[in-house]
Structure 1
Amino acid sequence: MTIDHNSSLGMMPAKAIIGYLREIGDDDAADALSQSGPGGQMLGLNWGNEVWGNTGMLLGFITPMEGDNPGTILNASTLAPDSALKGTRIKITLDRFYVHRFPGRGRHKILMEFTGKNQIHGDAEELRFALTTESGDKAGAPVHGTPIFLGASVGNNGISFEGNIINVESDQDETLLSALGSGPFKQGLSLLTTAQPALRPFVGLAQSVVAAVLKRSRNKPIYSFKLGLDFDTSQTAAKLRHGSFVVIQGDEASWSWHDVRWNADSQQIVNNYDNLPIELNYLIFRVSAYDAAELPQ
């Protein structure tokens, strides 16, 4: 299934959001978000520190370590595209998932799904990968270099894929989610089914697991994004090249990449003025070359 961006928690009506927080036992967040006017009328939400309510996307690119300003993060729209990648195969890995704040209390169980389309042998096929992880607030999830898409084809118009981050609060889904820990999912091989037909059932399994999890009221999509990287030289287009891309759940109106940098020692995005981690949820994807020799002939 494809998750509608409008189904993310931050897009829901105020009463529905507060009701969900009450259902999962996060009464402190529900109280903080509640604002009542005359007669108890709901006035809207005061998001405060609840950054999971952001519905926008900030896309940056971490520059290589060499140079005078290591760790500089650029707006991905200001990059120069690498046209040499047209017609090649790439590997996309999830290198970092940082949780500043998620709904609920204690450690958060999180389901992540990534989908897209791949052109191979002239046919379009579905790309789908799902994984589960856990994280507390103000911490990084235990994912690093996790393969998402291996050997994805780069067309003349670049690549695109979607990501969905789901907060799993239902204890009944433990057995269901364990299916995503099987070998093919851990290895990031749930794609290229034309080249590897044996993997096709695992693509369907990932889709079924995500659909089943979302049927429970205690499980909600927290963030959904659509990422497209191409070769257009426009100032508004995100460019494709090898390297690490940052996807931040945030609002463009109050953001400047000049205010932050990548701290390689702590493996975090930090503020320039105090060296403390930014107070936003974010993911880091790495695009790199894929060795064609690893593909079956």
Structure 2
Amino acid sequence: MTLNEYTDANDPVMGDLPADELLAVLEEIGDHEAIAWLRKELDGQGSLAIAATDFGFQLPQILGGDAPPWQYTAHVFGYIPRLSAGTTQSVAIVDASNIVADRSLVGAHVHITLQQLRVAKYPGNGRHQILLDCGVFDQRLKERELRFSRSYNVLDGQSAGVAGDPLFSGLKVGDIGIGLRCQTVNVKNELDEEFLQVLNSGTFRHGLKLVGAAINPAIIPFTEIVAATTGAFLKRTRRNRKVQEFRMGLDFETPPFGARLALGSYLAVQVPQSVEQAFDWSAWVYLPEQAAIVSKADGKTLINHNYLAFGVQRVEPPVSRKKATVAHERP
């Protein structure tokens, strides 16, 4: 399976939809608050039809400061180091490009978990059924990607009920690092919501075990099923829409804008892409006891952005059966 074969490139995130199409989606899912915001944004840009088509406006070009968090199309990546047991003090968050890479991870096996899925606001009202589709790949062998999906039930202003949900277990780190790609789909079709419950049972609950993946013929068909499922949801109805999408390469080099690989937690925060609204990690801290990102200024205000948090930890690869037998037979 090639990396681009199932990237769903023809299905843009909500923030990349032309204004007229976005309005149609919002009307279909009944998000009246977002409809009022959109019409206000378009006021002065000409009629909706002109703003959306004749001049080719995309919403990020005309956004005001009160845009809903799901309307942003960019992401910034933060890093929180591993914490000692019992830590209660706030922890600084730094940009993932501004940390020291852990080169001892070359050739090691790691466990990648979903630690938080925070919904400040998603399209629609109240409860959201969210399909999370994640892929990992070797930075050098970018033509091959392994994918895994889970679904989560989340309310606006809250986080999914997860804490270290396994995604990929036993992933071997290449000599130039690993890549992570994720997308979230806001599923608003009721029949599709019922079908998503399948993703919360059986194999889907325990992550994709990758130790020995090269000799496991079931791995690739599994990832193809995941990819096909996501694609099917996006094509069945315009009520199902991609909200977040990002790629993060975790490597061992030090160029600007990249992200370094180390043990700890990574944050992918959905933000506006503009100089005027540049994101400042130093304004936010992590509170271990509340498992929350809050304003450093008052220690209480929750971050008003959608974000995902991933954990990276080292795991020991299992001893093969042959080696275990030989070791057992030695006097």
Partner of 1:245: helix, strand, or coil? strand
Contact map agreement 1:64 1:70 (CA 8 A) in 2: no
Shift of 1:208: 2.2
Q: 1:232 and 1:38 mapped to 2: Cα distance?
A: 45
Matching residue's letter, 1:126: E
Structure 1 residues 178, 269: CA separation in 2 closer, same or farther (over 3 Å shift)? same
For 2:230, the equivalent position in structure 1 comes to 210
Would the alpha carbon gap of residues 208 and 12 (structure 1) be closer, same or farther in structure 2, given more than 3 Å must change? Answer: same
User: 2-side partners of 1:189 and 1:6: how far apart?
Assistant: 25
The amino acid of 1:187's aligned partner reads H
- Structure number, greater radius of gyration: 2
1:148 equivalenced with 2:148 (yes/no): no
Over the aligned positions, Cα root-mean-square deviation in angstroms equals: 2.7
The one-letter code of the counterpart of 1:290 is V
CA contact (8 A) 1:55 1:249 kept: yes
- Say yes or no: does 1:108 pair with 2:128: yes
> Residue type of the partner of 1:264?
P
Pick the aligned partner of 2:313 from 270, 288, 297: 288
Alignment pair present for 1:92 and 2:92:
no
C-alpha contact (below 8 Å) 2:11/2:234 kept by paired residues: no
Q: Which amino acid aligns with 1:169?
A: K
| Alignment partners' CA distance in 1, 2:200 and 2:45 | 51
Aligned partner of residue 208 in structure 2, secondary structure: coil
**Cα distance in 2, alignment partners of residues 10 and 257 from structure 1:** 23
- The superposition leaves residues 24-45 of structure 1 with CA deviations (integer Å, 9 ceiling, x where unpaired) of 0102211112123386356544
- Normalised to the residue count of structure 1, the TM-score between the two structures is 0.90
Letter of the structure 2 residue corresponding to residue 7 of structure 1 = P
- The alpha carbon displacement at 1:65 in A equals 3.7
Task: Give per-residue Cα distances to partners, 1:170-211, cap 9 Å, x unaligned.
Answer: 012134323212311100026554343344443232122212
> How far does residue 18 in structure 1 lie from its aligned partner after superposition?
1.6
The reply on whether 1:24 has 2:11 as its aligned counterpart is: no
Residue identity opposite 2:224 in structure 1: G
Match of 2:296 in 1: 272
Report the Cα distance in structure 1 between the residues aligned to 2:10 and 2:109, rounded to whole angstroms. 28
Residues 107-157 of structure 1: CA deviation (Å, up to 9, x unaligned): 0110000013259xx997531100000111110111221111111111111
Q: Are the aligned partners of 1:231 and 1:240 in contact in 2 as well (CA < 8 Å)? A: yes
SS in 2 for 1:218: coil
* Unmatched runs of 5 consecutive residues or more in structure 2: 1-5, 52-61, 323-331
Asked if 1:10 is matched to 2:15, the reply is: yes
Q: How many residues align?
A: 296
What is aligned with 1:248? 269
Residues 85-110 of structure 1: CA distance to partner in whole angstroms, max 9, x if unpaired? Answer: 11111111000111100000120110
Q: Gaps spanning 5+ residues in structure 1: where?
A: none
2:28 and 2:187 map into 1 onto residues whose CA distance is 13
Instruction: Give aligned-pair identity as a percent.
Output: 32
Which of 72, 78, 90 is matched with 1:60 structurally? 78
**Counterparts of 2:175 and 2:135 in 1: how far apart (Å)?**
19
Could you tell me which of 191, 204, 227 is aligned with 2:248?
227
1:123/1:2 CA distance change after superposition, 3 Å: closer
Using the TM superposition, give the Cα deviation of residue 217 of structure 1 relative to its aligned residue in structure 2, in angstroms.
1.2
What SS is found at the alignment partner of 2:91? coil
Structure 1 residues 89 and 124, CA, compared in 2 at 3 Å: closer, same or farther?
farther
Q: Distance in 2 between matches of 1:211 and 1:5?
A: 10
- CA pair 249-87 structure 1, distance change in 2 beyond 3 A: same
> In 1, Cα distance between the equivalents of 2:304 and 2:279?
12
**Distance in 2 separating the partners of 1:181 and 1:64:** 28
Secondary structure in 1 aligned to 2:145?
strand
